[in-house]
């Protein structure tokens, strides 16, 4: 009986120590990780909507892939809106933000915040030559093409069409939200 109790007790003690250590590490790193996520989000908002100095999350009914909307201002003047979305990509959700300028009535930019897409394929969506395709686009539906892009086309990432379509669908959803919100007279 002793040959069973000793190893079992050793395993139990080891498990308790490991769980306690993980709990301590988790609690120590939780706040710095959240602060870093916040800094990253703030920088991305200012990147997709240049000239923004302040922003606040507005309460909307989250529909589709929209997870949050931020009203952005500079010196009290509305600069536009940033819509956070989370569409389903090839390997999981893609967290991204899309900026819409109130003055130019255009998509001001798109940036991917987090993804789990395939390295070397869908993960290329974070590269500048892909995400810059969304900069300064008219508020018209965008579509994905594998050939030379037209006025409202986004060039697909080679072998990552699912990722490209997911991102483009999300950007179109942000534009639809903006047009609907603006048309509702809520400001």
Distances (CA, A) of 97 to 61, 65, 108, 145: 17, 11, 11, 22
Beta strands 95-101 and 143-145, pairing class? unpaired
pLDDT at 186: 52
What length does the chain have? 187
- The tens digit of pLDDT for each residue in 28-60 reads 999 999 999 889 888 899 999 998 999 999 998
Residue 98 in tokens: 């899309």
- The tens digit of pLDDT for each residue in 146-160 reads 888 888 889 888 888
% of the chain exceeding 70 in pLDDT: 98
As a whole number, the mean pLDDT across the chain is: 89
- The tens digit of pLDDT for each residue in 81-129 reads 999 999 999 989 999 999 999 988 999 999 999 888 888 788 888 888 8
Rounded to 5 degrees, what are φ and ψ at 32?
Answer: -60, -35
Nearest 10 degrees: Cα torsion 140, 150, 103, 80 = 60
What does pTM read for this prediction? 0.80
Strand order in the sheet with 66-74: 54-58, 66-74, 77-85, 95-101, 106-114, 137-138
Contact 107, 135 (CB under 8 A): yes
């Amino acid at each position: 009986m002793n040959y069973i109790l000793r190893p079992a007790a050793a395993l139990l003690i080891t498990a308790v120590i490991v769980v306690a250590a993980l709990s301590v590490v988790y609690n120590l790193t939780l706040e710095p990780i959240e602060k870093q996520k916040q800094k990253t989000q703030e920088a991305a908002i200012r990147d997709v909507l240049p000239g923004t100095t302040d922003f606040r999350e507005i309460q909307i009914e989250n529909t589709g892939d929209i997870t949050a909307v931020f009203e952005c201002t500079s010196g009290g003047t509305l600069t536009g809106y940033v819509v956070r979305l989370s569409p389903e990509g090839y390997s999981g959700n893609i967290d991204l933000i899309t900026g819409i300028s109130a003055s130019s009535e255009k998509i001001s930019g798109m940036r991917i915040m987090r993804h789990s897409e395939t390295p070397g394929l869908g993960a290329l969506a974070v590269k500048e030559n892909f995400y810059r395709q969304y900069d300064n686009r008219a508020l018209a539906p965008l579509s994905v093409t594998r050939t030379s892009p037209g006025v409202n086309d986004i060039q697909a990432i080679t072998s990552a069409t699912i990722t490209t379509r997911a991102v483009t669908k999300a950007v179109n959803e942000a534009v639809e939200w903006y047009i609907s919100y603006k048309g509702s007279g809520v400001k």
